[in-house]
Amino acid sequence: QTVGHDWAIDLLNHALRNERLAHAYLFVGLKRVCKDTLATEFAAALNCTGQEPPCGECPACRKTLGGAHPDVITIMPQNGKIKIEQVREMQRQMALSPYEGRLRVCLISSMHLATTEAANALLKSLEEPPARVVLLLTATSIELLPPTVVSRCQVLQLRPVAGDTIQHTLRRREGQNQQQAELLSRIAAGRIGWAVAAARDAGLV
């Protein structure tokens, strides 16, 4: 579960409760600040059937968080790039009606690695979004994206997570002692995803 980005979680929950969803969201932040985690949890929330989305327990949440929901299309960089062929295949799938959920969700991780052709192809979907589709993009910096893409998304600029929050998470969730939690928190410099991974793998420290 995402930690340290409460304002973003509150904003997304408010949009869900009031059924005022944007057709595209852009999660921006440092590498390993958990923007992809937050985007995936929001993808689960969009089709969650529980009382408090994302409940993490309903079939839709379990499938989404496990990478197996038929209505959640995920694009990851191939050989360091998001390619036009990937975007076009996503667009073909976006044109289909949802199989199981209310919405089709398209998650593009590391959009800043998209080729110019891929970014231009995506613009069509951002300008004329299909019905019942929500696009979720993640990137390390707005400056690395075409302004035309950024302007068509609701941008969530994720800030580095406070050191105290990282320490608390490492102690409570990862069983780290105070000294180790403080050390990892300092090295992490706000990147909570890095800190958690480091706590689980001493080889990263």
Q: What is the pLDDT of residues 52-66, one digit of tens each?
A: 999 999 999 999 999
Q: Quote the pLDDT of residue 202.
A: 58
The 3-state DSSP class for residue 110 equals: coil
| Cβ atoms of residues 91 and 121 within 8 Å | yes
Could you report how far apart the first and last alpha carbons of the chain are, in Å?
Answer: 23
Degrees, nearest 5: CA angle 12-187-141: 45
pTM: 0.87
Closest CA to 190 of 26, 16, 29: 29
Q: Check whether the bond before 146 is cis (ω within 30° of 0).
A: no
Q: At what angle do helices 192-200 and 163-174 cross, to 10 degrees?
A: 30
Q: How confident is the model at residue 196 (pLDDT cuts 50, 70, 90)?
A: confident
Return mean pLDDT, the chain. Answer: 92
Closest CA to 166 of 200, 202, 187, 190: 190
